[in-house]
Structure 1
Amino acid sequence: MSHHPPFKWRHFQPGMILLCVRWYLRYALSYRDLEEMMLERGLCVDHTTIYRWVQRYAPELEKRCRTRLRICNDSWKVDETYIKIKKAWAYLYRAVDSEGNTLEFLLSPTRDAEAAKRFFLKALASTVRSVSLACLVTKQVASPMALTDITAITLAPRVINVDKNAAYPKAIADLKAAGVLPESVELRQVKYLNNLIEQDHRFIKRLTKPGMGFFSFETAERTLQGYEVMNMIRKGQIRSVGKGDILRQVTFISRLFGVAA
């Protein structure tokens, strides 16, 4: 967590900034929709200002929520969906457990074995309880070709279910050969078993429609971080914050940033 006040030098009140960010990441709204909604509340704020708030605070929200997430189970369902960036398609890799809890996500410009490998490394890093080991695995995300021998990973998946994409078996085989994944991990390529994650894609896809795509990879990555973490909060993945408890969810986000709810 940053030691600097997150809202220092901001012209608007922190509570109003968080309200705009939270609404944009939770509901299917455009920046211009939010501009009009704030005007109804007597706040004149340009849609480009709201955009800058989302770009600044969406990644910070995800970062601050990470240590408060419930642990997912060991049955992974992995799939990728399409995201339009600058009139071209990129690929959002996502994983949920057998209860529908979001495990991890990764935006990639390519859909191949190396992208799948980066995603699995990131997913494994999110399940590692040892801080030092998590840092080691995270470094491998940026350099998947330089895999080191990583052992004793806790909370490794028991089974990973994917579709018929040929990149997944290759990525899994490479990770097992490098000692990152245990040999006991079972890979299943059964499409109907992935219905759960395919349904879960809908929440993210619904949010991306009002903006009609992204204009840069960095913008997409930051915004998707916010979409995903708000989806986790909505599904009740935060410890002591239940699914459907909207008021507690709002209070939780405010307290994360030191703002009175």
Structure 2
Amino acid sequence: MPDDVKPYRHRFPKSIIQHAVWLYHRFTLSYRDIEELLLQRGIQVSHETIRDWCEKFGPTITKELRKREPRRGSHWHLDEVCVKIKGVKHWLWRAVDEHGAVLDVLLQEHRDTDAAKTFFTKLLSGYEAPTTIHTDKLGSYGAAIREPPELHGAEHREVISTARCNNLIEQSHRPTRNQERSQKGFKDIEKAQKFLDLHARTSNLHHHTRTTVIAETRRTNQRAAFQTWSEVALLAA
């Protein structure tokens, strides 16, 4: 279907919808910011409509982006940070590989062994078992790693986050923190999880577009990321 065809029951073409969703997940922008950016280009759409687009098409884009991700590394770095949803403390569990690519994220109400087991189950459903697992000194990790047979061959290394031994995972949390501040906190755990899933996949897609490589290589990487986004977004819309 051509890019400029309007999706069923939507009065805007796919190209506008996918661009709005991309803006929201690529940069630290609010729905109202995107509304203004589109208006500057002569596109009049409300921030509520942009929110609806993100919620409707986000899960499919997430799924399609994940299908296209390359094979990930065998050294996992795991960490968890506190996130408040409607004032209630939750924990955001995150795993990245040795190259800084996000493997998965999971919001949970607890920071205990059962929560760690749940996160490892989610990781192992999508990736091969790692050779090395780096975590902080939370005891729940050790207990959770000992249970799955797939992890028995993995070396578990405990690091001290405050000593900057786990910088890959610490840096990976920053975009989420920025977006959390932009949204003035997350309001709903299910919607927050869907947002974070796509936010992670978008981060991976653009992982090599802001590096210190020469400008020509960086632009080539950026064009490839733009093309991939357009392809998966058009499938979703």
TM-score greater than 0.5 by the shorter chain:
yes
**Displacement of 1:198 after TM fit?**
0.5
User: 1:247 maps to which residue?
Assistant: 223
Structure 2 CA distance for aligned equivalents of residues 194 and 122 of structure 1: 22
Q: Structure 1 CA distance, aligned partners of 2:167 and 2:229?
A: 30
For 1:172 and 1:223, the matched residues in 2 are separated by 28
Q: Deviations over 1:183-227 (max 9, x none)?
A: 221111112431211012112222222111121111111111121
Is 1:162 the equivalent of 2:135? yes
Kindly state the Cα deviation for residue 236 of structure 1 after the two structures are TM-superposed: 4.2
Asked whether the equivalents of residues 21 and 53 of structure 1 are also in contact (C-alpha less than 8 Å), the reply is: yes
Equivalent residue, structure 2, for 1:195? 167
Question: 1:125: Cα distance to partner?
Answer: 1.3
Using structure 2 for the length normalisation, give the TM-score.
0.86
Residue identity in the other structure for 1:257: A
The 1-side partners of 2:26 and 2:15 are apart by 16
For the residues of structure 1 that align with 2:135 and 2:234, how far apart are their CA atoms?
Answer: 40
- Give the stretch that moved more between structures: 15-24 or 184-193: 184-193
Amino acid aligned to 1:172: I
Q: Distance in 2 between matches of 1:228 and 1:160?
A: 20
What is the aligned-residue RMSD (CA, Å)? Answer: 2.1
Q: Deviations 1:43-102 (Å, cap 9, x if unpaired)?
A: 121111111111112221110012211111111110012322112222111111112122
2:62 counterpart of 1:89 = no
Q: Which residue of 1 aligns with 2:213?
A: none
After superposition, the Cα gap between the structure-2 partners of 1:243 and 1:227, relative to the gap in structure 1 and judged at 3 Å, is farther
Query: How many positions carry a matched residue from both structures?
Result: 220
Cα displacement string for residues 161-181 of structure 1 (whole angstroms, at most 9, x for unaligned residues): 100111111111222xxx2x2
The match for 2:155 is 186
CA contact (8 A) 1:77 1:161 kept: yes
Q: Normalized against structure 1, the TM-score is what? A: 0.78
Deviations 1:225-250 (A, max 9, x none): 1211110101149xxxx866223222
Segments of 5+ residues of structure 2 without an aligned counterpart are 210-216
* Equivalent of residue 220 in structure 1, options 192, 197, 209: 192
Structure 1: stretches of 5+ with no match in the other structure: 128-154
Amino acid at match of 1:223: F
Aligned residue identity for 1:160: I
- Counterpart contact for 2:78–2:134, Cα < 8 Å: yes
Runs of 4+ in 1 over 3 A off after TM superposition: none
Identity %: 33
